[in-house]
Amino acid sequence: MTGIGYDVHPLVQNRPLVLGGVTIPHSHGLDGHSDADVLCHAIADAILGALGEPDIGHFFPPDDPACEGMSSLRILEKCRELADAAGHDIINVDSTLIAEAPKILPYRDAMRWNIGKALGIEPARVGIKATTNETMGFIGRKEGIAALAVAQVDFNDCPF
What sign does the dihedral 20-6-126-103 (CA atoms) show?
negative
- CA–CA separation, 100 and 105 (whole Å): 13
3-state DSSP assignment of residue 117: helix
| CA angle in degrees (0–180, nearest 5) for 111-113-114 | 65
Average pLDDT, the chain: 95
| CA angle in degrees (0–180, nearest 5) for 39-84-57 | 40
- CA–CA separation, 44 and 3 (whole Å): 10
pLDDT at 159 (0 to 100):
53
- What are the φ and ψ backbone dihedral angles of 52, each rounded to 5 degrees? 75, 25
- CA–CA separation, 131 and 41 (whole Å): 18
What are the pLDDT digits (tens) for 45-91? Answer: 999 999 999 999 999 998 899 889 999 999 999 999 999 999 999 99
- CA–CA separation, 128 and 88 (whole Å): 23
pLDDT < 70 stretches in the chain: 157-160
- Structural domains of the chain, with CATH: 2-155 (3.30.1330.50)
pLDDT at 50 (0 to 100):
97
- CA–CA separation, 48 and 10 (whole Å): 23
- Which helix (H) or strand (E) covers residue 85, if one does? helix 72-85
